[in-house]
A and B are shown apart, each in its own frame.
Chain A
Amino acid sequence: MRTWGLALALSACLPTSACVQTRQFADVQFTPPQGDYRLLVLRPDVSVGSLTTGGMVEPRADWTDQARANIIAALQAQQGQRGGKLQILERRNQLTGASEQEVADFERLFYAVGNSIVIHKYSGDYLPTKRGKGLEYTLGEDAVRLGQKTGYDYALFLHAEDSVASGGRIALGVLGLAGCIVGFCAPNIGGASQLDYAGLVDLKTGEVVWFNVVQAGSQVPGIAFGDLRTPAGATQMVDRLLNRMKPGLAVRRAAEKS
């Protein structure tokens, strides 16, 4: 079923040569936070680069700063609508109640756990013992302690990496497309691509209750989508990543029964 869904998504991608995939996992007991909750957003881990003609990603400082500012603005606007109180950390020493080192340790722990989630939930190395259990990962007591010290209910981690096709890469794609006339057709050398993921940690239990990955890419250089350097692109990304939080399996089943 899942494989078919993926195949279908892939085949849908081909004609347009650009596609966006999102896939989220939640703790079985997860209910999306609503009402009067306090959310801590850890420093968004953003990098934007330029895709060179030869296919390397060259990091760009100015684009990264621009994208991070756009993402923070988009997050603030989105969470404002939901009613939660939030603080977005721009530096590790901005959190009252916890030291810079504690924040750093917390971030590292999350990225280590997040990495396992990506490997075992997304990359295909599925663990039989975690099958059908939703998202079953925790940051443990340290996360609970951080919640007690700072008074936050949830912590949100956000990672975004974006590469923008350079002029040379687009030209190469055009050459590949031109080749179609003489019978050497190679327009799909790969263009811009974006990988974003976010994880929500319940600071009352320490568990990672929700995780989402958005992957977007275009096969043909020159076809753009959700460019993080623009406010519109960042808003679209934040929307794709965070706006459709689904409740956990047990919660959904209970809702269906009642």
Chain B
Amino acid sequence: MCGRCAALSRRSLLVGGGVAAASFGTGLAQARILPQEMVPLVGAGFKPTDKDEQGIWQLMDRAEEEISGSNLLIQDPQLTGYLRDLIGHVGGPAAKDFRIYLAHIPDFNAMMFPTGFAVVFSGLLLRMRNEAQLAGVIAHESGHFLRRHMIRSWRDQRRKTDIFSIAAMAAGVGGAAGGVYLGDYVQLAQLGTILSLFQYSRTMEAEADAMGAKLIAQAGYAPIEMANIWQQLIGEEDASARYRRKRRRRGSLFDTHPSSQSRMIDLRADAADVTEPGRAYETGRERYLSKIAGIRPTLLDDQVKLNDPGATQYLIETLAQDGWNGLLRFYEGEVWRLRNRNGDDVRAGQSYAAAVAYPDAPADAWRWHGITLMKAGRTAEAKTALTRYLTMKPDASDAAWVRQTIG
């Protein structure tokens, strides 16, 4: 059955391809949604009154129960408290109603559920360079809730599939009565319906971006940082693709989100719109870095293990624009060590050597620095480095081996 569905939609794609590309092509470069037009549609303590929305809320309450008890969540009270404070700061009128969960998933993502709880992936914390950027993502997600996107897109979907079903049936019956075959038109309408659903979804994302820019500017964060997030993401995807000798995915008619490029451009314009002359906006970089200091090694470790050297190297270099340190240098070394191609051991060795020059070098940087020196025959220096490793991490799982090695 499903094979048939796929064949049908592929065929309808071919039939309607040319026309659709012409009529919906504008969808990718739609007019920018202005931040000043984005007014919240819900206030504090919102509860649904319509049957369809109540049904979705009940389902989502179950989802929240599962998510809030999931063992994928990072429960560190300092971090979760930080996220809660942030959403309470940039969440607009519903700020105090939001719940926010941090999931241990090394991916760039965050999502808002229709009942007002958000899930942020740990990979997002790695990629954000300052508090303004993180606040921007959180404000974007709050925007989805404040603009009632879930229920609006549900109703849009219901209306369009209803209209399509009725029209298709009417075309069949009417066509049969009139003796004409309208099947091709029905397929075209089907494609049109599908495309307009994706288009609607992209419009909502654009709304959330505009709303987000407005919210963080009101809270005193530099709104341009939201555009910078997309610039960083484009750079990361380019680097990852280049490394794999592929091209970064560009936007298509079937995307649920606008392309990163168009979001970045729109957000730059949004930032200019919402900036009040004379007001000072902060990025909150120091505060952000101190808040995530405890988890940053884990975030970098997760990223390195994704086995995507192109993206990881780009990420580390982007973060290092705010200054290199021992932690970043160590993980730069890890990228090459784990890739393990010809000459990678030398590159890794250089990074470890650079890492240990910083006071914040992690114990493992001393370990690998020592091992690299050992391999190079510089035994005396190697022993000093490994001794330092043991001092920093006396209970290391390989402590006995290291002790034996340094004699």
Q: Does A61 contact B172, Cβ atoms closer than 8 Å?
A: no
Residues in A neighbouring B170, C-beta threshold 8 A: 175
In A21-61, which residues have CB < 8 Å from any B CB?
47, 49, 52-56, 58-61
**0/1 interface trace, chain B 367-382, chain A, CB 8 Å (1 if under):** 0000000000000000
Residues in A neighbouring B163, C-beta threshold 8 A: 54
Max chain B C-beta neighbours (<10 A), residue from A54, A108, A176: A54
Q: Does B55 contact A54, Cβ atoms closer than 8 Å?
A: no
Indicate if B160 sits at the interface (CB-CB under 8 A): yes
Q: What's the nearest-Cβ distance from chain A to residue B23, in Å?
A: 22
Indicate if B177 sits at the interface (CB-CB under 8 A): yes
Count contacts between A and B, CB distance < 8 Å: 74
Please, how many angstroms separate the alpha-carbon atoms of A59 and B55 in the complex? 5
Residues in B neighbouring A59, C-beta threshold 8 A: 55-56, 58-59
In B101-138, which residues have CB < 8 Å from any A CB?
none
Nearest B-chain residue to A63, judged by Cβ: B55
Residues in A neighbouring B164, C-beta threshold 8 A: 54
Q: What's the nearest-Cβ distance from chain B to residue A199, in Å?
A: 18
In B134-167, which residues have CB < 8 Å from any A CB?
154, 157-158, 160-166
In B69-116, which residues have CB < 8 Å from any A CB?
69
Q: Does B173 contact A64, Cβ atoms closer than 8 Å?
A: no
In A156-198, which residues have CB < 8 Å from any B CB?
168, 172, 175-176, 178-179, 182-184, 186, 189
Indicate if A81 sits at the interface (CB-CB under 8 A): no
Indicate if A3 sits at the interface (CB-CB under 8 A): no
Report which of A60, A182, A184, A186 forms a contact with B55, defined as CB distance below 8 A.
A60
Please, how many angstroms separate the alpha-carbon atoms of A152 and B162 in the complex? 49
Report which of A56, A60, A183, A186 forms a contact with B157, defined as CB distance below 8 A.
A56
Q: Does A172 contact B54, Cβ atoms closer than 8 Å?
A: no
Q: Does B165 contact A54, Cβ atoms closer than 8 Å?
A: yes
Q: Does B166 contact A186, Cβ atoms closer than 8 Å?
A: no
Q: What's the nearest-Cβ distance from chain A to residue B113, in Å?
A: 14
Residues in A neighbouring B162, C-beta threshold 8 A: 52-54, 168
Report which of A47, A52, A179, A189 forms a contact with B161, defined as CB distance below 8 A.
A52
Q: Does A184 contact B69, Cβ atoms closer than 8 Å?
A: no
Q: Does A58 contact B161, Cβ atoms closer than 8 Å?
A: no
Report which of B161, B169, B172, B176 forms a contact with A56, defined as CB distance below 8 A.
B161
Q: Does A184 contact B158, Cβ atoms closer than 8 Å?
A: no
Indicate if B51 sits at the interface (CB-CB under 8 A): yes
Indicate if B25 sits at the interface (CB-CB under 8 A): no
Q: What's the nearest-Cβ distance from chain B to residue A201, in Å?
A: 20
Please, how many angstroms separate the alpha-carbon atoms of A176 and B52 in the complex? 27
Nearest A-chain residue to B161, judged by Cβ: A54
Residues in A neighbouring B158, C-beta threshold 8 A: 52, 54, 56, 58
Q: Does B58 contact A61, Cβ atoms closer than 8 Å?
A: yes
Q: Does A175 contact B56, Cβ atoms closer than 8 Å?
A: no
Q: Does B176 contact A55, Cβ atoms closer than 8 Å?
A: no
Indicate if A256 sits at the interface (CB-CB under 8 A): no
Residues in A neighbouring B165, C-beta threshold 8 A: 53-55, 172, 189
Indicate if B57 sits at the interface (CB-CB under 8 A): yes
Please, how many angstroms separate the alpha-carbon atoms of A172 and B172 in the complex? 12
Q: What's the nearest-Cβ distance from chain A to residue B205, in Å?
A: 21
Q: Does A182 contact B161, Cβ atoms closer than 8 Å?
A: no
Residues in B neighbouring A55, C-beta threshold 8 A: 161, 165
Max chain A C-beta neighbours (<10 A), residue from B160, B172, B173: B173
Please, how many angstroms separate the alpha-carbon atoms of A172 and B154 in the complex? 21
Residues in A neighbouring B43, C-beta threshold 8 A: none
Q: What's the nearest-Cβ distance from chain B to residue A220, in Å?
A: 14
Nearest A-chain residue to B48, judged by Cβ: A61
Q: Does A186 contact B169, Cβ atoms closer than 8 Å?
A: yes
Indicate if A101 sits at the interface (CB-CB under 8 A): yes
Known: A54-B158, A55-B165. A61 touches B173 (CB 8 A): no
Please, how many angstroms separate the alpha-carbon atoms of A139 and B56 in the complex? 31
Indicate if B175 sits at the interface (CB-CB under 8 A): yes
Report which of A62, A104, A186 forms a contact with B172, defined as CB distance below 8 A.
A186
Q: What's the nearest-Cβ distance from chain B to residue A63, in Å?
A: 8
| Shortest 8 CB-CB contacts between residues of A and residues of B | A54-B161, A184-B176, A59-B55, A179-B173, A61-B58, A53-B162, A182-B177, A54-B162
Q: A53-B162, A56-B158 are in contact. List 7 more A-B contacts (CB 8 A).
A: A52-B158, A52-B162, A54-B158, A54-B160, A58-B158, A60-B51, A101-B69
Could you list 29 examples of A-B contacts with CB < 8 Å? A47-B59, A52-B158, A53-B162, A53-B165, A53-B166, A54-B161, A55-B165, A56-B161, A58-B158, A59-B55, A59-B56, A59-B59, A61-B51, A61-B57, A101-B69, A104-B69, A168-B162, A175-B166, A175-B169, A176-B169, A176-B172, A179-B169, A179-B176, A182-B176, A182-B177, A184-B172, A184-B177, A186-B172, A189-B165
